[in-house]
């Protein structure tokens, strides 16, 4: 039996390798141009690497580093171009975001905030949704790492399901877990820097697109509020009635878990102060003049000093450093593409079609669906780095604002219907309480209807903000 399983697994790996190789060859053949040998090599290596990511043939950071080596050894890019991702703030922001997450988990402060909100607000299914969303906005503001927030929320939701003895096939369990998932991820998407927004904005910064923490929050909040209302409405129609039978016990479970935490410890209070200082440092960039991401990182790293004395060298072992290599590798896809002129070429191909769409809503919906499709074959980080500049150039060609098109594209990257598309979705699905059949139906409905929210915001809200 064990031998058969191992054989099937090996066979699956070979299929993955073959598919990735053929995919790279096919795309390189489709776009082959004898006058641009570097571009031909780029298409082959990049598409093959994407296939390797999709089939999980190697650890993601190994594939990412191999892709960087491929760009250098084949002469597609010089080392200073291939590795320029490390000179951007993004890997360091992610590292410091993870450190804050490690600290919040270590002191259990994030659990306290989430459980307090749920136990005080969640007396009905609708109020429980509000509680998860409010907790998400509070926790996500001080933990700039959506993965960490998602893990914490999944732990709370799983604990509720276990305390209530809910079946993994029940609508109630699915509703609780997805309510927590929406609370963690929708709220996180409204903040810098813990999503693909910071990547997209840094990619187009040289095109004269300014951004600040407060600006990003205010410009994205209208969509995220509409998105949350839509997501929870779909979820309530799906399982609200069944959940209503258990909701009083849900609140009791949260209160019991909160009671076990006891009073706030000294370290919890210091952690809260450190997180808030880091947040204020990022927000107050217009006043102190220091780039917000560097101010944020500096404040987080003060946790190692005697000023706070909260973190130790052992805490660094909990940081997922391979993810940083993966991010830098994915960033290289877009950066190298830019040096080869691929974004301008892609924009030139799409602009004639978009010129027929004479409305902000239509253009934004187009960008949204580009993000949805890109997320099927790319990681969100890779898609944001490789396609943000083309989206910006399309907007410029059509005399439209860059931010509405870019934001709509990023909203599309947040949508999925199969868990493999997003890391937070994999964490949610790994709880074992959500059936694939339920998940696909809910997420596909959300995906389609969310495009209408994009159209509404693009038509009525963003013009009032002069975007």
SS3 for 58?
Answer: coil
pLDDT digits (tens, 9 = 90+) for 40-63: 999 999 889 878 877 778 887 888
Instruction: Choose between 180 and 202: higher pLDDT.
Output: 180
Q: Phi then psi for 56, rounded to 5 degrees?
A: 55, 45
The pLDDT, as a whole number, for residue 1 is 47
**Count of other CB atoms within 10 angstroms of residue 75:** 10
> Which whole number is the average pLDDT over 398-402?
86
Least confident of 139-153, 207-221, 232-246, 400-414: 139-153
The pLDDT, as a whole number, for residue 11 is 66
Q: What's the mean pLDDT when you consider all of the chain?
A: 84
Q: What is the pTM of this model?
A: 0.77
Least confident of 83-97, 131-145, 255-269, 436-450: 83-97
The pLDDT, as a whole number, for residue 283 is 80
- What is the rounded distance in angstroms from the CA atom of residue 188 to the CA atom of residue 192? 8
Q: Which residues contact 362 (CB under 8 A, 6 or more apart)?
A: 455
Residue 206 has pLDDT above 70, yes or no: yes
pLDDT band at residue 2 under the 50/70/90 scheme: low
Whole-angstrom distance between the N-terminal and C-terminal Cα of the chain? 60
With beta carbons less than 8 A apart as the criterion, state whether 389 and 203 touch: yes
Instruction: Choose between 299 and 249: higher pLDDT.
Output: 299
Whether the link from the prior residue into 344 is cis, omega within 30° of 0, is: no
> Which whole number is the average pLDDT over 356-379?
82
Using alpha carbons only, what angle is made at residue 202 by residues 180 and 43, rounded to the nearest 5 degrees?
95
The pLDDT, as a whole number, for residue 96 is 82
pLDDT band at residue 7 under the 50/70/90 scheme: low
pLDDT band at residue 369 under the 50/70/90 scheme: very high
With beta carbons less than 8 A apart as the criterion, state whether 213 and 190 touch: no
Residue 183 has pLDDT above 50, yes or no: yes
pLDDT band at residue 6 under the 50/70/90 scheme: low
- What is the rounded distance in angstroms from the CA atom of residue 236 to the CA atom of residue 234? 6
Residue 224 has pLDDT above 80, yes or no: yes
> Which whole number is the average pLDDT over 427-453?
88
Q: Break the chain into its structural domains and give their ranges.
A: 1-76, 89-317
> Would you say the C-alpha torsion 421, 423, 428, 432 has a positive or negative sign?
positive
> Which whole number is the average pLDDT over 59-80?
90
pLDDT digits (tens, 9 = 90+) for 403-429: 999 999 999 999 988 776 777 887 788
With beta carbons less than 8 A apart as the criterion, state whether 336 and 69 touch: no
> Which whole number is the average pLDDT over 185-211?
85
The pLDDT, as a whole number, for residue 420 is 64
């Amino acid at each position: 039996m064990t031998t058969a399983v191992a054989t099937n697994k090996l066979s699956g790996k070979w299929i993955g390798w073959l598919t990735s190789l053929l995919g790279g060859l096919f795309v390189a053949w489709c776009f082959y141009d004898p006058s641009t040998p570097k571009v031909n090599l780029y298409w082959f290596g990049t598409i093959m690497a994407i296939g390797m990511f999709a089939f999980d043939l190697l650890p993601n950071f190994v594939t990412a580093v191999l892709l960087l080596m491929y760009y250098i050894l084949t002469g597609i890019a010089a080392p200073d171009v291939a590795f320029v991702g490390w000179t951007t703030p993004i890997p360091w922001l992610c590292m410091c975001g993870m450190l804050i997450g490690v600290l919040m988990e270590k002191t259990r402060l994030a659990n306290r905030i989430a459980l307090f909100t749920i136990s005080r607000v969640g007396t009905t299914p609708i109020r429980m949704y509000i509680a998860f969303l409010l907790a998400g906005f509070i926790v996500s503001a001080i933990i700039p790492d959506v993965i960490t927030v998602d893990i914490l929320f999944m732990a709370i939701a799983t604990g509720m399901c276990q305390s209530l003895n809910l079946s993994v096939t029940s609508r109630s369990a699915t509703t609780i877990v997805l309510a927590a998932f929406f609370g963690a991820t929708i709220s996180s998407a409204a903040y810098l820097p813990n999503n693909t927004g910071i990547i997209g904005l840094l990619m187009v910064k040289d095109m004269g697109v300014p951004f600040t923490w407060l600006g990003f929050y205010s410009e994205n909040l209208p969509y995220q509020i509409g998105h949350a209302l839509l997501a929870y409405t779909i979820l309530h129609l799906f399982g609200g009635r069944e959940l209503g039978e258990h909701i009083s016990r849900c609140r009791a479970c949260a209160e019991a878990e909160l009671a076990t935490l006891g009073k706030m410890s000294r370290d919890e209070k210091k952690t809260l102060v450190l997180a808030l200082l880091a947040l204020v440092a990022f927000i107050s960039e217009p006043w102190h003049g220091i780039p917000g991401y560097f101010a944020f990182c500096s404040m987080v790293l003060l946790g190692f000093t005697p000023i706070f004395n909260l973190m130790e060298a052992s805490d660094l072992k909990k940081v997922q450093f391979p993810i940083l290599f993966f991010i830098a590798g994915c960033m290289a896809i877009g950066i190298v593409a830019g040096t080869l002129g691929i974004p301008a070429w892609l924009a030139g191909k799409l602009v004639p079609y978009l010129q027929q769409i004479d409305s902000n809503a239509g253009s934004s919906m187009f960008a949204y669906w580009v993000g949805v499709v890109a997320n099927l074959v790319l990681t969100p980080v890779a898609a944001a780095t490789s396609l943000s500049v083309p989206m910006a150039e399309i907007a410029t060609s059509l005399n439209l604002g860059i931010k509405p098109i870019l934001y709509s594209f990023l909203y599309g990257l947040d949508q999925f219907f199969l868990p493999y598309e997003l890391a937070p979705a994999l964490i949610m699905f790994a709880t074992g309480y959500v059936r694939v059949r339920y998940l696909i139906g809910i997420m596909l409905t959300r995906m389609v209807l969310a495009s209408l929210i994009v159209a509404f915001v693009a038509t009525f809200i963003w013009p009032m903000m002069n975007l």
